[in-house]
């Protein structure tokens, strides 16, 4: 298989682009670097496409390796043929390669291998031929031995051999596999136990394999794992046996009964159990990939939420008996003060807590209070709303997800960052920082604990981590990192760096009291030329020696950038002072391709350089919606059908989206209530962090369920 050509066709790329991407990956270039700084070499593919390309490249290389191993193994047995060569060359999946190898694969002891050892392979060949006017029973007498004592024993052994041959037939397996995928059903029965009420939806459940959505597969799998569901694949036996008969049965009255018994045995004992496991496995793989895709889709906008810059923030980690932990942070995330208050039951020291926080708010000029949405969050929000009425300066609050905060607090990283604080105070700091700079704080947490998506603990953990780490890398590198303020955790996600080098950067900048330019990175231990090439463009030096060091322009393009400025009589001082707003127009008048040629770069790189020069030091997250800040509180009991709210999307799943409308219980907008137009998936319209107008359809207070709609609001409200 020509992998370059295959990938070019699958991704709709030019052959040269496909080869270039492969070469760059093999050279050790990271996906963010390839996506940003090698656009001319791949036709401006985005990072997501490049990651998919890399995944597919890995699969195809594994496929080629497996083909080579199979060819070698069969050749060593002296059984390699031209037919096998063609079949192996045409195999498109690892499953097809496995099917081809199955008849030649060394097997443990089976009924067929026992029969072969008894010398019955010849009789199996005669029976399988199904020749007319041929007395098979009489032929079987020739195979009687001390081990084979009767004609029935001989025929049974022959049938066992044929059954295994039927099961090992690659073409038959391929056709039956397709039949199950298109015609089979997945069935569930409820098994009564203490957890079974959770799965009542799947009592006497039946749905086509080809149409069942991924979230149902994951729910069924969990129910089966918890012994609440009995699950099986059901397919019309007449259809499957018709396929098997087509391959192996001839119309011969003398052998029909024997062959039918053999084919039924092959199907019931060997083929169907294997194909059922495979079908269930494929359904799970598909569901896992879809669920992981939703994690990916949800995580990116969560990380890219707009930071709340230039605000003093008070973080509040709610609790009951142990009290609410408080941490005040400055505009750079440094901790100014910490304390504990007890406004919630059982102590309910509301007045004392108000006085305590009033003093902190006035002393540090707090602008915003960030409340974690965990235990006692509702009571904490009511308390904060009351507190705000007693404060002389303008203060608002926001409720943030505290998913993973306890994981970070108890982690080695949390202990290293705040060795003098207990676990709960670290959580309060994290809750405050999540509002101030979501990306910088959330990257400290195991990506699987951030709380977007469903069934994260049921996913293949290595694959989930791989995909989500890729999302974090893409986000960190698209935003850029201030080299003089970033934590080692944040630096470790920069293209070309790891935690070891990140710590070396932090140690070096402390030693020199601040890095002044990107070139200094080459003085950092273990940061060699290759790592520098990969990371330099993503690291920012604010207020350093070189204005371009505070942009995403790569040092390799500095000369081209200076040529561009010189071409239009502009200087780096003009860039610093923001006096180049007419640059795009000047380039357009001269001709983009002509300018790119004179600067010795491609058009995509020229466009990127121009954007960076217009806004040096810009944070692309500033264009994202700001966090919703509140000063008053509503409760679930306050909700009435028809009420309209501006909410924030917290999670997008296959069947809808969960929206925070400020009542401590996210409401569900079912996929049918998202848009008047038909949509295949909620992610076509919604993403995490998006602010949307929703209307209350219904409220179930005992079950704490809120049903919302996005349809018809503008028409009714306006």
Q: pLDDT of 106-135, one tens digit each?
A: 988 999 999 999 999 999 999 999 998 889
**So what's the pLDDT on residue 618?**
87
Residue 422 φ then ψ, to 5°: -80, 175
**So what's the pLDDT on residue 530?**
97
Q: pLDDT of 163-187, one tens digit each?
A: 999 999 999 999 999 999 999 999 9
Which residues does 117 contact at the CB level (< 8 Å), separation at least 6? none
**So what's the pLDDT on residue 633?**
66
Q: Does residue 717 surpass a pLDDT of 50?
A: no
Among the listed ranges 222-236, 469-483, 590-604, 655-669, which one has the minimum average pLDDT value? 655-669
Neighbours of 141 (CB within 10 A): 11
Q: Does residue 682 surpass a pLDDT of 60?
A: yes
Query: What pTM does this model have?
Result: 0.83
Cα separation, 142 vs 123, whole angstroms: 9
Which residues does 567 contact at the CB level (< 8 Å), separation at least 6? 590, 595, 598, 599
Q: pLDDT of 520-562, one tens digit each?
A: 999 999 999 999 999 999 999 999 999 999 999 999 999 999 9
pLDDT, average across residues 624-653: 82
Q: Which of 324, 514, 347, 532 is nearest to 428 (CA)?
A: 324
Domain ranges of the chain: 3-75, 313-452, 508-623, 636-717
**So what's the pLDDT on residue 264?**
97
Asked if 480 and 540 touch (Cβ cutoff 8 Å), the reply is yes
Neighbours of 460 (CB within 10 A): 13
pLDDT, average across residues 588-608: 96
Percent of the chain with pLDDT strictly greater than 70: 99
Q: pLDDT of 79-112, one tens digit each?
A: 999 999 999 999 999 999 999 999 999 988 999 9
pLDDT, average across residues 271-284: 96
Q: pLDDT of 280-313, one tens digit each?
A: 999 999 999 999 998 888 888 889 989 998 999 9
Q: Does residue 700 surpass a pLDDT of 80?
A: yes
**So what's the pLDDT on residue 637?**
84
Q: pLDDT of 332-389, one tens digit each?
A: 899 999 999 999 999 999 999 999 999 999 999 999 999 998 888 889 988 999 999 9
Mean pLDDT, the chain, whole residue set: 93
Q: pLDDT of 15-48, one tens digit each?
A: 999 999 999 999 999 999 999 999 999 999 999 9
Q: How far, rounded to the nearest angstrom, does the alpha carbon of residue 270 sit from its chain's CA centroid?
A: 36
Give the model's confidence band at 405: pLDDT under 50 very low, under 70 low, under 90 confident, else very high: confident
Distances from the Cα of 522 to the Cαs of 29, 172, 318, 529, 711, in angstroms? 18, 61, 46, 7, 56
Give the model's confidence band at 715: pLDDT under 50 very low, under 70 low, under 90 confident, else very high: very low
Q: How many residues does the chain have?
A: 718
**So what's the pLDDT on residue 374?**
83
Cα separation, 165 vs 160, whole angstroms: 9
β partners of residue 539 = 481
- The topology under which CATH files domain 3-75 is Arc Repressor Mutant, subunit A (1.10.10)
Q: How far, rounded to the nearest angstrom, does the alpha carbon of residue 137 sit from its chain's CA centroid?
A: 61
Q: pLDDT of 602-638, one tens digit each?
A: 999 999 999 999 998 888 888 777 777 777 767 788 8
Cα separation, 77 vs 104, whole angstroms: 8
**So what's the pLDDT on residue 302?**
87
pLDDT, average across residues 467-479: 93
**CATH architecture for residues 636-717:** Beta Barrel (2.40)
Q: Does domain 313-452 have CATH number 2.30.42.10?
A: no
Q: Spelled out in words, what is the top-level CATH class assigned to the domain 508-623?
A: mainly alpha
């Amino acid at each position: 298989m020509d992998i370059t050509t295959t990938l070019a066709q699958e991704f709709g790329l030019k052959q040269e682009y496909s080869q270039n991407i492969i070469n760059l990956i093999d050279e050790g270039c990271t996906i963010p670097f390839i996506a940003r700084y090698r656009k001319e070499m791949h036709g401006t593919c985005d990072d997501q496409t490049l990651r998919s390309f890399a995944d597919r490249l890995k699969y195809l290389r594994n496929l080629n390796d497996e083909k080579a191993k199979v060819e070698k193994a069969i050749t060593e047995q002296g059984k390699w043929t031209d037919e096998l060569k063609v079949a192996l060359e045409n195999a498109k999946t690892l499953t097809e390669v496995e099917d081809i190898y199955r008849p030649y694969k060394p097997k443990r002891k089976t009924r067929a291998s026992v029969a072969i050892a008894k010398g019955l392979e010849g009789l199996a060949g005669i029976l399988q031929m199904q020749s007319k006017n041929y007395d098979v029973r009489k032929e079987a007498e020739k195979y009687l031995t001390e081990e084979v004592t009767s004609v029935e024993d001989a025929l049974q052994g022959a049938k066992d051999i044929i059954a295994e041959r039927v099961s090992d037939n690659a073409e038959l397996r391929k056709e039956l596999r397709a039949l199950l995928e298109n015609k089979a059903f997945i069935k569930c029965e409820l098994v009564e136990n203490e957890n079974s009420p959770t799965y009542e939806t799947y009592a006497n459940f039946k749905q086509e394999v080809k149409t069942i959505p991924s979230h149902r597969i994951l729910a069924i799998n969990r129910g089966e794992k918890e012994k609440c569901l009995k699950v099986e694949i059901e397919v019309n036996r007449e259809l499957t046996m018709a396929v098997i008969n087509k391959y192996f049965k001839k119309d011969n009255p003398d052998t029909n009964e024997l062959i039918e018994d053999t084919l039924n045995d092959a199907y019931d004992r060997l083929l169907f159990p294997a194909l059922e496991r495979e079908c269930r496995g494929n359904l799970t793989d598909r569901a896992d990939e879809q669920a992981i895709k939703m994690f990916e889709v949800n995580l990116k906008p969560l990380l890219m939420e707009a930071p709340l810059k230039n605000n003093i923030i008070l973080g509040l980690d709610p609790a009951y008996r142990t009290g609410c932990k408080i941490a005040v942070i400055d505009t750079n995330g440094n901790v100014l003060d910490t304390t504990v208050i007890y406004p919630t039951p059982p102590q309910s020291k509301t007045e004392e807590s108000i006085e305590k926080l009033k003093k902190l708010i006035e002393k540090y000029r707090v602008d915003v209070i960030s409340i974690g949405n965990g235990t006692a969050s509702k009571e904490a929000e009511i308390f904060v709303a009351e507190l705000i009425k007693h404060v002389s300066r303008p203060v608002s609050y926001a409720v943030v997800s505290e998913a993973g905060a306890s994981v970070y607090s108890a982690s080695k990283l949390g202990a290293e960052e705040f060795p003098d604080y207990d676990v709960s105070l670290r959580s309060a700091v994290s809750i405050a920082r999540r509002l101030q700079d979501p990306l910088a704080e959330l990257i400290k947490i195991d990506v699987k604990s951030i709380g977007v998506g469903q069934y994260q603990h049921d996913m293949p953990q290595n694959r989930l981590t791989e995909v989500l780490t890729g999302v974090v890398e893409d986000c960190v590198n698209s935003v850029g990192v201030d080299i003089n303020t970033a934590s080692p955790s944040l630096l470790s996600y920069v293209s070309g760096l790891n935690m070891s080098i990140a710590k070396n950067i932090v140690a070096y900048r402390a030693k020199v009291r601040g890095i002044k330019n990107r070139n200094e990175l080459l003085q950092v231990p273990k940061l060699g030329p290759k790592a520098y090439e990969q990371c330099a463009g993503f690291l920012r030096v604010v207020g350093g020696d070189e204005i371009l060091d505070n942009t995403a322009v790569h040092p390799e393009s500095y000369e081209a950038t200076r040529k561009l400025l010189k071409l239009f009589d502009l200087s780096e001082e003009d860039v610093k002072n923001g006096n180049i707003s007419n640059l795009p127009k000047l380039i357009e008048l001269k001709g983009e391709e002509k300018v790119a040629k004179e600067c010795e770069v491609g058009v995509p790189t020229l466009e990127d350089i121009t954007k960076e020069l217009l806004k040096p030091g810009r944070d692309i997250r500033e264009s994202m919606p700001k966090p919703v800040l509140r000063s008053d509180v509503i409760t679930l009991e306050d909700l009435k059908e028809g009420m309209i709210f501006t909410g924030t999307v917290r999670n997008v799943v296959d069947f809808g989206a969960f929206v925070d409308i400020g009542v401590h219980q996210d409401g569900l907008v079912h996929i049918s209530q998202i848009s008047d137009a038909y949509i295949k998936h909620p992610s076509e319209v919604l993403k995490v962090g998006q602010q949307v107008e929703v209307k209350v359809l219904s409220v179930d207070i005992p079950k704490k369920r809120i049903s919302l709609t996005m349809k018809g609001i503008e028409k009714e409200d306006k």
